[in-house]
Protein backbone atom coordinates (compact mmCIF):
# COMPACT_ATOMS: atom_id res chain seq x y z
CA UNK A 1 0.00 0.00 0.00
CA UNK A 2 2.75 2.48 0.87
CA UNK A 3 4.47 1.69 -2.42
CA UNK A 4 1.43 2.82 -4.43
CA UNK A 5 1.04 6.01 -2.40
CA UNK A 6 4.76 6.67 -2.66
CA UNK A 7 4.65 6.24 -6.43
CA UNK A 8 1.64 8.56 -6.69
CA UNK A 9 3.37 11.16 -4.51
CA UNK A 10 6.51 10.92 -6.64
CA UNK A 11 4.39 11.43 -9.76
CA UNK A 12 2.77 14.55 -8.28
CA UNK A 13 6.14 15.98 -7.27
CA UNK A 14 7.54 15.23 -10.73
CA UNK A 15 4.61 17.01 -12.42
CA UNK A 16 4.85 19.95 -10.02
CA UNK A 17 8.57 20.25 -10.70
CA UNK A 18 7.91 20.22 -14.45
CA UNK A 19 5.30 22.97 -14.07
CA UNK A 20 7.38 25.23 -11.83
CA UNK A 21 10.46 25.01 -14.04
CA UNK A 22 8.65 25.14 -17.40
CA UNK A 23 8.67 27.93 -19.92
CA UNK A 24 5.30 29.32 -21.02
CA UNK A 25 5.59 27.24 -24.20
CA UNK A 26 6.29 24.09 -22.22
CA UNK A 27 3.31 24.78 -19.95
CA UNK A 28 0.98 24.68 -22.95
CA UNK A 29 2.60 21.40 -24.02
CA UNK A 30 1.93 20.01 -20.54
CA UNK A 31 -1.73 21.03 -20.89
CA UNK A 32 -2.02 19.09 -24.16
CA UNK A 33 -0.38 16.08 -22.50
CA UNK A 34 -2.72 16.28 -19.51
CA UNK A 35 -5.83 16.49 -21.68
CA UNK A 36 -4.71 13.49 -23.72
CA UNK A 37 -3.89 11.50 -20.58
CA UNK A 38 -7.37 12.12 -19.20
CA UNK A 39 -9.06 11.27 -22.50
CA UNK A 40 -7.16 7.95 -22.63
CA UNK A 41 -8.16 7.27 -19.03
CA UNK A 42 -11.81 8.01 -19.85
CA UNK A 43 -11.68 5.57 -22.78
CA UNK A 44 -10.34 2.84 -20.49
CA UNK A 45 -12.96 3.58 -17.85
CA UNK A 46 -15.75 3.32 -20.44
CA UNK A 47 -14.37 -0.02 -21.65
CA UNK A 48 -14.20 -1.26 -18.05
CA UNK A 49 -17.66 0.06 -17.18
CA UNK A 50 -16.29 2.40 -14.52
CA UNK A 51 -18.67 5.28 -15.16
CA UNK A 52 -17.78 7.40 -12.11
CA UNK A 53 -14.07 7.44 -12.95
CA UNK A 54 -14.89 8.07 -16.61
CA UNK A 55 -16.79 11.17 -15.56
CA UNK A 56 -13.89 12.40 -13.43
CA UNK A 57 -11.38 11.92 -16.25
CA UNK A 58 -13.56 13.70 -18.80
CA UNK A 59 -14.24 16.54 -16.39
CA UNK A 60 -10.48 16.98 -15.93
CA UNK A 61 -9.95 16.98 -19.69
CA UNK A 62 -12.69 19.60 -20.16
CA UNK A 63 -11.15 21.73 -17.40
CA UNK A 64 -7.75 21.55 -19.07
CA UNK A 65 -9.19 22.57 -22.43
CA UNK A 66 -11.37 25.37 -21.07
CA UNK A 67 -9.38 26.71 -18.13
CA UNK A 68 -5.97 26.02 -19.63
CA UNK A 69 -5.80 25.99 -23.40
CA UNK A 70 -8.78 28.23 -24.11
CA UNK A 71 -7.94 30.66 -21.31
CA UNK A 72 -4.34 30.97 -22.56
CA UNK A 73 -5.38 32.27 -25.97
CA UNK A 74 -4.43 35.89 -26.59
CA UNK A 75 -6.92 37.06 -29.18
CA UNK A 76 -5.29 40.46 -29.44
CA UNK A 77 -1.96 39.02 -30.49
CA UNK A 78 -3.22 35.79 -32.08
CA UNK A 79 -5.91 37.33 -34.26
CA UNK A 80 -7.60 34.92 -36.64
CA UNK A 81 -5.48 31.97 -35.50
CA UNK A 82 -6.59 32.50 -31.90
CA UNK A 83 -10.20 32.72 -33.09
CA UNK A 84 -9.81 29.43 -34.97
CA UNK A 85 -8.21 27.73 -31.96
CA UNK A 86 -11.02 29.03 -29.76
CA UNK A 87 -13.59 27.44 -32.07
CA UNK A 88 -11.71 24.13 -32.03
CA UNK A 89 -11.32 24.13 -28.24
CA UNK A 90 -15.03 24.86 -27.81
CA UNK A 91 -15.83 22.02 -30.22
CA UNK A 92 -13.49 19.66 -28.34
CA UNK A 93 -15.22 20.62 -25.08
CA UNK A 94 -18.57 19.83 -26.67
CA UNK A 95 -17.28 16.47 -27.92
CA UNK A 96 -16.03 15.63 -24.43
CA UNK A 97 -19.33 16.62 -22.84
CA UNK A 98 -21.28 14.46 -25.31
CA UNK A 99 -18.84 11.58 -24.80
CA UNK A 100 -19.46 11.83 -21.08
CA UNK A 101 -23.25 11.89 -21.48
CA UNK A 102 -23.39 8.97 -23.91
CA UNK A 103 -20.25 6.95 -23.04
CA UNK A 104 -19.15 7.56 -26.63
CA UNK A 105 -15.58 6.46 -27.29
CA UNK A 106 -15.81 7.76 -30.87
CA UNK A 107 -16.32 11.31 -29.60
CA UNK A 108 -13.38 10.82 -27.22
CA UNK A 109 -11.27 9.63 -30.14
CA UNK A 110 -12.23 12.66 -32.24
CA UNK A 111 -11.40 15.03 -29.38
CA UNK A 112 -8.06 13.27 -28.85
CA UNK A 113 -7.27 13.48 -32.56
CA UNK A 114 -7.97 17.22 -32.73
CA UNK A 115 -5.91 17.93 -29.62
CA UNK A 116 -3.11 15.74 -30.95
CA UNK A 117 -3.00 17.67 -34.22
CA UNK A 118 -2.77 21.02 -32.47
CA UNK A 119 -0.48 19.74 -29.72
CA UNK A 120 1.94 18.19 -32.22
CA UNK A 121 2.14 21.44 -34.16
CA UNK A 122 2.66 23.36 -30.92
CA UNK A 123 5.43 21.03 -29.77
CA UNK A 124 7.16 21.22 -33.15
CA UNK A 125 7.79 24.95 -32.68
CA UNK A 126 9.25 24.51 -29.21
CA UNK A 127 12.90 24.97 -30.26
CA UNK A 128 12.07 28.32 -31.88
CA UNK A 129 9.90 29.39 -28.93
CA UNK A 130 12.67 28.60 -26.45
CA UNK A 131 15.12 30.84 -28.36
CA UNK A 132 12.92 33.93 -28.03
List, for residues 88-113, the tens digit of each pLDDT value.
999 999 999 999 999 999 999 999 99
Question: What is the reported pLDDT for 101?
Answer: 98
Number of helical H runs and strand E runs in the chain: 7, 0
The Cα–Cα gap between 105 and 122 comes to 25
Determine, yes or no, domain membership for 76: yes
Mean pLDDT of 41-61: 98
Determine, yes or no, domain membership for 58: yes
Domain encompassing residue 112: 23-131
∠ CA 109-110-115 to the nearest 5 degrees? 100
Burial 26-36 (b: 16+ CB within 10 A, else e): bebbbbbbbbb
Mean pLDDT of 34-60: 98
Number of structural domains (the chain) is 1
Mean pLDDT of 43-52: 97
The Cα–Cα gap between 48 and 72 comes to 34
Q: How confident is the model at residue 44 (pLDDT cuts 50, 70, 90)?
A: very high
Determine, yes or no, domain membership for 12: no
Determine, yes or no, domain membership for 48: yes
Determine, yes or no, domain membership for 15: no
- CATH of residue 44: 1.20.120.340
Whether the Cβ atoms of residue 36 and residue 109 lie closer than 8 Å to each other: no
Determine, yes or no, domain membership for 123: yes
Determine, yes or no, domain membership for 6: no
Whole-angstrom CA distances from 49 to 57, 60, 70, 98 are: 13, 18, 30, 17
- Other CB atoms within 10 A of residue 7 CB: 10
Determine, yes or no, domain membership for 81: yes
Amino acid sequence: MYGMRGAAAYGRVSVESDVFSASPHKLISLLFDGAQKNIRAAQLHIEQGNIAEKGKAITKAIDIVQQGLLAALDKEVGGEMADNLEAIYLYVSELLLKANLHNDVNKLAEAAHLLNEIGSAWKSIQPQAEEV
